[in-house]
Amino acid sequence: MSRLARTLALAPIVALSLAGCVPNTTATGSGSAAALTVAMTDTTCQVSAHEAESGTTSFTISNTGTDVNEFEILADDKLRIVGEKENVTPGQTVTMVQQLQPGTYYTACKFRLVGDPIDLTEFTVTGEEVAASSDQEALDAAAVLYLSYVKSQVDELVPAVTTFVNAYIDGDTAKAKSLFSAARVSYERVEPTAEQFGDLDPKIDYRKPGADAEGLDWTGFHRIEADLWFDEAGKNYPDGSIKKLSSAERKTVGTQLITDVTDLSSKVNATDFTLSISDITNGAVGLLDEVAAPDGKLSGEEDEFSHTDLSDFYANVEGADVAYGTVRDIALSKGTEGKELVDELDTQFAAMKKLLSTYGSYADGFDSYDTVSQDKRNALAAQLNALSEPLSKLAHTVLELPTAN
């Protein structure tokens, strides 16, 4: 695949006003600095144009709504945050200066900074690639944007888990089952971040053997999964060690999960929480390791009762792809070796997603993993290896190789 066939991300020169820095407006782009406006209300998000020349674009954002709002520019995967302006208060007008490379993006607002994006709209940038900023600026900006992405994911996690848990507590087994894999998607995209908080991942996502081995109460997603797919639980643990939960116990376990993911969200959103470039590149590798682990998705152990492993698998790959996308431009600036690595990773991420897509999608659901033959699992494993090997070189390329344009 041609490097240019894939959407290019920003050259992250923008010192976001998140951190209160003065935007670096001295960067030169290929086109004249365009000035666009963004009109945000509680329910709408109108950008004055849907395309721009590459280079520096300024967005003048006015909030005429009733509460705090946020403007975002997302990459073509609609996940990775390329630029954002948070905490635009009612009546306020602020300016966000953004350097954009040619490619496809999406603009949207986030009312009260959470929930589904409002007026998610394609935004096209044309023209020539613009020069990258200095190494350190690029690294700093990438880390800030990745943190924004992680925050957006944990922010989505809380309502998704709440809806799922409520159905479960209400005893609506069919509905809860249908929501189980969707409730996990955001978590699976950013799991290495959750794992930084030692006690949270065990509570949220431990499988029974892990909890037993460490003498913990078994709680979280998989405790509820075992209860929802209780026949499978009996098959996998014929010693009867998994008991059907009573209504009161359902409420306890369910409420605990909401509490734990809310706790995760608070910790990630804390002002002193930061992520380094190493966290990002190691996190990408870690997400794929989660898939390949003996008790991971490839073996079908992760979701051993619901067999929804392929949904988790896809989310892990998406998470790794976003992390990679965050530093992709930096890798591209590292001479021949960097360009070859980017070529290879672009190809392998696309091939991995394409192969997984033959099994379904979030919208239509993925095939139950117990119906996937060993041959097909081997093909998934082969593609995962093909992706994981070059990904293991990303940290070195981004952090250790000299910039050589």
Partner 1 sequence: MDATHEPEEPDPHEPGRARLSRRGLLGLLGAGVGGVAVGAGGTLAAGAIVNGAASPGTDSRTYPFYGFHQAGITTAAQDRLHFAAFDMTSTATRDDLIELLQDWSFAANRLMQGLEVAESGAGGPLLLPPEDTGEAVGLPASSMTLTFGFGPTLFRDATGTDRFGIAARQPADLTALPGFKGDLIDATISGGDLCIQACADDPQVAVHAIRNLTRIAFGRAQIRWSQLGFGRTSSTSTSQATPRNLFGFKDGTANIKSEDQAAVDAYVWAGAKAQGTWMAGGSYLVVRKIRMTLETWDRANLAEQQNVTGRDKAEGAPLSGGTEFTDPDFSATDAATGLPKIPQDSHVFLAHSRQNNSVQILRRGYNYVDGNNEIGQLDAGLFFLSYQSTPANFVAIQRRLAESDAMNEYIRHISSAVFAMPPAPASASEFVGSGLFA
Q: Which residues bind partner 1 (CB under 8 A)?
A: 335-337, 340-341, 343-344, 348, 351, 374, 378-379, 381-383, 385-390, 392-393, 395-396, 399-400
The candidate with the shortest Cα–Cα distance to 11, out of 108, 93, 127, is 127
**Minimal distance in Å, beta carbon 340 to partner 1?**
5
Count of beta carbons in the 10 Å neighbourhood of residue 114? 14
How near is the Cβ of 404 to partner 1 at its closest, in Å?
9
215 CB-side CA count, 13 A: 0
CB of 399 to partner 1, least distance (A): 6
Nearer to partner 1, 223 or 393 (CB): 393
Question: Which is closer to partner 1, CB of 118 or CB of 352?
Answer: 352
Indicate the SS3 state at residue 297. coil
Q: What is the DSSP letter of 26?
A: T
- In 3D, which of 398, 214, 217 has the Cα closest to residue 324? 398
Nearer to partner 1 by C-beta: 77 or 337? 337
The DSSP bridge partners found for residue 123 are 105
Decide: 88 and 69 in contact? Cβ < 8 Å.
yes
Q: Please, which residue, 211 or 280, has the CB nearer to partner 1?
A: 280
Cβ proximity to partner 1: between 112 and 396 the closer is 396
Residues in CB range of 298: below 8 A, 6 or more apart: 291, 292, 309, 313, 377, 380, 381, 384
Least distance (Å) between residue 378 CB and partner 1 = 7
Q: Which is nearer to partner 1, 76 or 337 (CB)?
A: 337
Short-list 189, 281, 274, CA closest to 18: 274
> Minimum Å distance from CB 350 to partner 1?
11
CA distance 383 to 380: 5
State the nearest-atom distance from the C-beta of 56 to partner 1, in Å: 32
Closer to partner 1 by CB, 260 or 279: give it: 279
Q: Return the bridge partners of 39, or none.
A: 46, 62
Helices 309-332, 135-169: axis angle to 10 degrees equals 170
- Concatenated DSSP letters of 228-255: HTHHHHHHH-TTS-SPPPPHHHHHHHHH
Shortest CB 297 distance to partner 1, Å = 17
Q: Smallest gap, in angstroms, from Cβ of residue 389 to partner 1?
A: 5
- Quick one: 108 or 317, whose CB is closer to partner 1? 317
Whole-angstrom distance, CA of residue 388 vs CA of residue 392: 6
